Amino acid sequence: MRFAAPWALLGAAVLLVGGGLDMLGVPSALLFGSLLVGLGFALAAPGRIELPARTFTAAQAVLGIVLGAYLESSSLEALASDWLPVALVAAGTLAISLAASQLVARFTGLDPVTAALGLVAGGASGIVSMADELGADARLVAFMQYARVLIVVLATPLIVVVAFPGAGDGGPVAPELGRLALPVLAAILGLMAACFGLAAALVATTSVSLLDAYLATTPGGLYAVLAVGFGAGADTTFVLAVQTLRVFVMILVAPPMARAIARSSLR
């Protein structure tokens, strides 16, 4: 009973906060409600609740299956003639993410591994699930990752309406967290701007439109991006293919890069 009581309380709080966010129209309301409740509990009672190791491992397995299920043969076929520019865009996104993370680490004193994993642009759930094993602060990684996702989710529809007006006509956390908010926000906005530059490069090297390229290179928010793309008449198959490829690149390459950064910082 003592073990179950805190989880029952957290579950009730998640439903309450998530329901409130859903009423406000926030996308993925339960996801962000869970994040807010978890952060609040961590601030109010640090170290009071631990997820059993077997449960955590099972959650990682489920996430792995979900990520693997993203990849479809039709999505890969959409990249057949443009695979090189798309691969370079994915690599460029990773490089920009790591550069931004090191700037945040330098100006805030955050450890480089937590900063690197927190600002990797893609695969938020997978990155967060690996954070502890890679020596990062999983709570701060979660805050940074889902702050990025939330900003992208909220900003993308507005940017599409403003920049593409014709689209759619056819159809220990407490002392670090407050100090990190502004630098992380600046890094996320810079990352979004840099990814728009990658979209322009994709337009210059392939036959896709700027709308398709922008939606394909947004740093996260896959489900919201697909919904916006569908409503705007974009090539959602291409968008899904590029976004999925980048998720795989981030999940596979970010962990060894984080370990390299950790070794370099120790030296």
Please list, in sequence order, all residues whose beta carbon lies within 8 angstroms of the beta carbon of residue 25, skipping any fewer than 6 positions away.
Answer: none
198-205: average pLDDT: 92
Please list, in sequence order, all residues whose beta carbon lies within 8 angstroms of the beta carbon of residue 48, skipping any fewer than 6 positions away.
Answer: 6, 41
For residue 175, pLDDT over 50 is answered with no
d(CA 107, CA 183): 8
Confidence of residue 198 (pLDDT cuts 50, 70, 90): very high
Confidence of residue 68 (pLDDT cuts 50, 70, 90): low
On average, the pLDDT of the chain sits at 79
Count up the domains in the chain and report the number.
1
The answer to whether position 23 is within a domain reads: no
For residue 47, pLDDT over 70 is answered with no
d(CA 58, CA 49): 18
Instruction: Give the DSSP per-residue string, 55-101.
Output: HHHHHHHHHHHHHHHT--HHHHHTTTTTHHHHHHHHHHHHHHHHHHH
Least confident span in 97-106, 132-141, 192-201, 226-235: 226-235
Our CA dihedral for 25, 28, 32, 37, rounded to 10 degrees, sits at: 90
The answer to whether position 91 is within a domain reads: yes
The answer to whether position 230 is within a domain reads: yes
The answer to whether position 134 is within a domain reads: yes
Residue that the structure tokens 């795989």 belong to: 248
The answer to whether position 63 is within a domain reads: no
d(CA 66, CA 244): 12
Phi, psi (5° rounding) for residue 232?
A: -90, 0
Domain that holds residue 238: 73-266
219-226: average pLDDT: 76
The answer to whether position 181 is within a domain reads: yes
Tokens of 197: 């530059």
Q: Write out pLDDT tens, residues 2-19.
A: 567 777 888 898 899 888
The length of the chain is 267
The answer to whether position 67 is within a domain reads: no
The answer to whether position 48 is within a domain reads: no
Q: By percentage, how much of the chain surpasses pLDDT 90?
A: 7
Distance from chain centroid for Cα 61: 19
